[in-house]
Chain A
């Protein structure tokens, strides 16, 4: 079972992918021939992976993946190609002579979160004449049926005829053997223009017999850090459910921009993932304004809510903090809660309140 944070973080990409229209798949392309070097690279990738994953160090590191969130999992994936077991693979990659080429390595996860999907969290580096091109960390998403509840199922290597950042977008693949003597599953991918995009070798997971079509969408992650491009939206199910029905500005802070605050809040259930609301941007409020934000929250015991006034020139200001706990709420009742920290004695006399309704408890 993988870290819940990672499941949820990956689910946000699946959500974005799901929100896109279903693109008509291009006609099934002719199975293109892989060059001898490409075949050799995939075979060596499998050998190197076996050597690494069976080593004591490899077993230890792979076991630790289950506890990682997306940030630490990305760091781990980026370190894989530098392992000593991959030395010969790196030499082969240097032999590629395509004008544009990159090699990717990623970890596969299968996740069930209302819909089932598989996610590959990986990194692609420029090789051949593209050596030195900007590397790209990515998440590739495929929707699937019958996914497990958050498991790591294998590793995926890819050799691509493009620079790393061009992996972004949809791709269609055909899984087949292609005459390669490997135990993993080979898939040849094409882009919308029907050009050969590359080939992947997946080791572990549900390798399918015969030929099947796969469709995926790749997001380039860029530098996400504490302010990720894709912010968390999907919440894991917990025992109880409340709604922050509204937020009232009793008195705004004076942030130098007048008497209006640019408000957003972060909510965190049981010390888990921090969710912003609005997910992006803010809501402007003046004294006396109420914002019917209607933000639902799943929780077990407690929810921490921190209200911020966005400040474009410096760190955002905290204008209210609230600690909600199951024991202080009554089922079906809406209560008005004041900030834990009293800002009313400060120069600005800042004051915000929230209205919270406990909607359901012990949810099955």
Chain B
């Protein structure tokens, strides 16, 4: 029973992880509403979005639905073929019910610095 919706508009990379300064991070999202089945963005198993400093990833108005919360996690994946054990956790944000929109900054001690732009729909 979903009561709320949020739209993720884009992700901006101010700085990729230290280990990927020249090549950039291979970013993908895992979005999990209320502890349920997560979805992966991009959907393809081995796919990701390459991001260097200054890059914007247009999420094509990604709408996520939830009842209590929507946990959005950023990952960097370099391994081919896909092995989640080798993925690097960048950061995450837990969206709880709210209004309006804006951006939030996610950083880690490994140099990653990203911003997520979002809009609450209901």
Contacts and interface: CB of A to CB of B under 8 A. Distances in A.
A284 B17 CA distance: 12
A281 B89 contact: yes
Interface in A259-305: 260, 278-286, 289, 292-298
A297 B36 CA distance: 10
Contacts of B14: none
A282 B35 contact: no
B83 A229 contact: yes
A230 interface: yes
A234 B36 contact: yes
Interface of A: 11, 14-16, 18-21, 113-115, 229-231, 233-235, 241, 243, 245, 260, 278-286, 289, 292-298, 359-360
Given A230-B84, A234-B35, A285-B109, A296 B73 contact: no
Given A115-B37, A281-B87, A296 B109 contact: no
Contact of B37 (A229, A234, A278, A279): A234
A137 B115 CA distance: 42
B16 to A, nearest CB: 16
B85 interface: yes
A142 B62 CA distance: 26
Contacts of A281: 87-89
A42 to B, nearest CB: 32
B70 to A, nearest CB: 9
B93 A20 contact: no
Contacts of A114: 36-37
Nearest to B94: A294
Given A241-B68, A245-B94, A284 B38 contact: no
A282 B89 contact: yes
B87 A284 contact: no
Interface stretch (B4-12, B39-47, B49-57): B39-47
Contacts of A241: 34-35, 68
Given A16-B45, A114-B36, A233-B38, A296 B87 contact: no
Residue of B37, B96, B110 with highest tally of chain A CB at under 10 A: B37
Residue of B35, B84, B92 with highest tally of chain A CB at under 10 A: B35
B43 A229 contact: no
Contacts of A21: 43-44
B71 A296 contact: yes
A13 B68 CA distance: 24
A296 B35 contact: yes
